[in-house]
Structure 1
Amino acid sequence: MLAVDSYNVASTQVSLSCVPEDTTGLERIMLAAQGDLQRLLSTFFARPIFIECIYANASSRLKPASPENPITQSRQVHLKCASRVVCVATSTVTITSPECERLFLDEKFPIGQTFRQLRRNPRFSLLNVETHAVGGKRELRRTYRLETEGFVAEILEVFPDRDMFVKGEAWLTEGKVDSCAISTESKPEWHTMNGTAVH
């Protein structure tokens, strides 16, 4: 496990292993986010973070969601602040309860807010962390799983420019060009879930 969250009556410790050596403290906070990334980014930038859905493809809903009749959805959203993309999140969600189906598919709460509406803290597993250079920008990527009874999400998040964590609000006004260099058409091959590429 790449993230271990331990505590006792006197202390709390979050340990992240296998992260790049140059990862900053702020980046480690984002890598350890457990369904509250939008809230953390809003706090950091001191502005609202909006979610723009790029695609959302769900399996058929002939019966209410249940363990015997799971409903899955593959989706990609852009988290935007001041019209700039601060994160691209691509996920596969598996729903096995009618309550989660209603919140996520009918009322259209995003993943993190679904857990908040359920009033549950999800189990968090950090699966992978990588950095890449794309189009002259330094990307930070993480793959992780959030799960609770009736709702499991496996998510790849790409922060398209690590400079945002250094420059903060000043980064938002630089160039005023969409900072997302990630194609919504291509599917990364480095991570699979149930034999299907997750991006």
Structure 2
Amino acid sequence: MPFVVDSYNTASTSVQLPYMPSDTTGIERIMLAAQGDLQRLLSTFFARPIFVEPVYADTSPRLHSASPDYAITQSRRVHLVCAGKVVCVATSTVTLTSPVAERLFLDDKFPIGQTIRKLGQSPRFSLLNVETLTVGTKREIRRTYTLETEGFSAEILEVFPDRDMFIRGEAWLLEGQPERDSTCASVTESYLRPEWLSLSVVH
């Protein structure tokens, strides 16, 4: 069951994440509550551009325009990169049910967050899971969530490969060389391509 409560009235706004790991910091909670605007938040935090680098994208056959009766799906992975370092690995399955969403996402190649912004709608956001763990010498934080709007939906697994980035900021960005192969790569293949991705793709 989604464990995010986002409520407001004329006098207050409240975002509650009651099952968040107890050691998460304020900036981590902001990133974990992002609703299609993670790249904007990361760019604001690092004060640098965030680039999207595709890793793979498997799209179901496009025999007809996307519609509620003919959904087009894509399983994909991208790296979000800042100053040559991977700051997030996003693995997702996307379902398209409108021609506009299909054009923006598959033809114009807008990433997920920008597609939702171009559609001009506020997405429905459900945060499904948050985990913190150690992989090698790095402390990871990851979340699984869904974004849904008319004609477009996505289930996304995001991994922030080194929580030190949120503590040290620019100093973390500038140290060492990018280590793409080791970032989130030591975990199992079932994590690299989650089971729900392959099950969701229509061939």
Bin of the TM-score, shorter chain as denominator length: over 0.9
- Residue 183 (structure 2) aligns with: 181
Distance 1:134 1:197, change over 3 A: farther
Contact 1:66-1:97 at 8 Å conserved across structures: yes
Letter in 2 for 1:114: T
Tell me the TM-score normalized by structure 2: 0.92
Unaligned 5+ runs, structure 1: none
Work out whether 1:35 is the aligned partner of 2:36: yes
The whole-number CA distance in structure 2 between the counterparts of 1:91 and 1:194 is: 7
- Residue 170 (structure 1) aligns with: 171
Letter in 1 for 2:92: S
Unaligned 5+ runs, structure 2: none
The whole-number CA distance in structure 2 between the counterparts of 1:80 and 1:190 is: 20
The whole-number CA distance in structure 1 between the counterparts of 2:200 and 2:176 is: 33
**Identity rate of aligned residues, in percent?**
67
The alpha carbon displacement at 1:134 in A equals: 0.6
- Residue 55 (structure 1) aligns with: 56
The whole-number CA distance in structure 1 between the counterparts of 2:19 and 2:11 is: 27
Contact 2:75-2:197 at 8 Å conserved across structures: no
Q: Secondary structure at the match of 1:188?
A: helix
Note the alpha carbon deviations across 1:155-175, whole angstroms, 9 max, x for none.
Answer: 000000000000011100111
Distance 1:117 1:189, change over 3 A: closer
The whole-number CA distance in structure 2 between the counterparts of 1:119 and 1:158 is: 27
The alpha carbon displacement at 1:177 in A equals: 3.1
The alpha carbon displacement at 1:17 in A equals: 1.9
The whole-number CA distance in structure 2 between the counterparts of 1:50 and 1:62 is: 31
Distance 1:19 1:190, change over 3 A: farther
1:141-156 mapped onto 2 (5 Å cutoff): 141-156=142-157
Tell me the TM-score normalized by structure 1: 0.94
Q: Secondary structure at the match of 1:193?
A: helix
Which range moved further: 123-132 or 187-196? 187-196
Q: Secondary structure at the match of 2:48?
A: coil
Note the alpha carbon deviations across 1:73-97, whole angstroms, 9 max, x for none.
Answer: 0000000000000000000000000
The whole-number CA distance in structure 2 between the counterparts of 1:193 and 1:67 is: 20
Letter in 2 for 1:82: A
